[in-house]
């Protein structure tokens, strides 16, 4: 049996990492200041809803801090115990963020149901002004995170947190205006329930993606059958099998595969072509084993 292993690794693009860390630090400071202001107004106006929202916004600060920790862990060097480094921690953090969002949705729904049963008189004007500041802070943070969330599941978790809070703040402003004008206190929990359902849809997708990556499932942006066809069409490649694709982190994917080549002298060229194609599709960590057609490879042994 003549197997030949070709290992290849490209450095993942790090150009935007420093910028994203700066964005996260600015976002944490902005949201922490808002939590202090909102809690202060809540105590001054004796508003339980504002205090509750301040507590919820504090969980967003925690979420942003988790993402920042994930960025630093992903940059930690590999060791003899963790040969891939701590890149996988970003996936675990995105999973934790999804769970935190579900908890937040659960709290919003529970509070809304309680308010529907026992409506509470609130100062609509004070709540609207405070929530208006929330729209500004959460909206700025959401815009800052918008670009990074497209390519990083971890940042998407923080983005969804902030987008959800922006929606909540908009809902609070609307309900505050209606309450101030009409005295319809029931509108507050109704709007909160609608917002909770919107957040739940986005959170479910984040949770689904996070669990799949945590279980080493194929990342959403990778089509395994397309990869197989592309590799099979590579010059000098007769067959491909044992393809495995998984996420090393929320931004880096890896692949292992066995290819059958027509001649060993063409193996290097075939592997080089395949890795170039994989890199264009965001798979920058590839290990490809080459085999000859007459290799006696027992299926169970090869696994």
209 shares its domain with 228: no
Edge-to-edge strands of the sheet including 4-9? Answer: 4-9, 283-291, 253-261, 237-247
Query: Which pLDDT tens digit goes with each residue over 176-211?
Result: 788 778 877 777 778 778 777 877 877 888 889 889
Query: Which pLDDT tens digit goes with each residue over 33-77?
Result: 988 988 888 788 666 666 767 777 787 788 888 888 888 888 888
Determine contact, residues 287/242, Cβ cutoff 8 Å: no
Q: Is 296 helix (H, G, I), strand (E, B) or coil?
A: coil
Question: What CATH code is carried by the domain that includes residue 271?
Answer: 3.30.70.1350
Q: What is the pTM of this model?
A: 0.73
In total, how many domains does the chain have? 2
Last residue of a domain, one of 173, 190, 214: 214
Determine contact, residues 157/63, Cβ cutoff 8 Å: yes
In this prediction, residue 164 carries a pLDDT of 79
Full domain range(s) for residue 274 = 219-302
Distance CA 86, CA 145 (A): 23
Pairing of strands 283-291, 253-261: parallel
> Rounded to 5 degrees, what angle do the CA atoms 236, 238, 244 make?
105
53 shares its domain with 92: yes
Judged against a pLDDT cut of 50, whether residue 270 lies above it is answered with yes
């Amino acid at each position: 049996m003549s197997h030949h292993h070709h290992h290849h690794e490209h450095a993942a693009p790090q150009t935007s990492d420093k910028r994203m860390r700066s964005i996260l630090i600015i976002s944490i400071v902005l949201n922490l200041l808002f939590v202090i202001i909102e809690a202060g107004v809540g105590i001054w106006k004796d508003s339980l809803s504002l205090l509750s929202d301040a507590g919820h916004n504090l969980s967003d600060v925690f979420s942003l801090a988790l993402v920042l920790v994930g960025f630093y862990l992903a940059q930690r060097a590999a060791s003899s115990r963790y040969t891939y480094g701590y890149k996988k921690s970003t996936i675990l953090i995105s999973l934790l963020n999804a769970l935190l969002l579900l908890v937040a949705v659960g709290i919003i729904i529970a509070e809304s149901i309680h308010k529907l049963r026992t409506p509470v008189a609130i100062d609509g004007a004070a709540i609207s002004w405070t929530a208006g500041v929330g729209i500004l802070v959460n909206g700025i943070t959401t815009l800052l995170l918008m670009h990074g969330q497209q390519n990083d599941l971890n940042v998407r978790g923080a983005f969804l947190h902030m987008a959800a809070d922006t929606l909540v703040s908009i809902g609070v402003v609307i309900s505050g205006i209606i309450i101030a004008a009409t005295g319809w206190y029931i509108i507050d929990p109704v709007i909160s329930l609608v917002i909770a359902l919107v957040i739940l849809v986005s959170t479910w997708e984040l949770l689904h993606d996070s669990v799949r990556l945590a279980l080493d499932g194929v990342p959403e942006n990778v089509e395994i059958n397309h990869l197989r066809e592309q590799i099979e069409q590579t010059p000098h490649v007769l067959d491909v099998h044992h393809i495995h694709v998984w996420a090393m982190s929320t931004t880096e994917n890896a692949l292992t595969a066995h290819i059958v080549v027509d001649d060993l002298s063409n193996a290097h060229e075939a592997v080089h072509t395949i890795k170039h194609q994989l890199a264009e599709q965001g798979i920058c960590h590839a290990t490809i084993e080459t085999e000859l057609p007459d290799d006696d490879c027992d299926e169970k042994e090869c696994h």
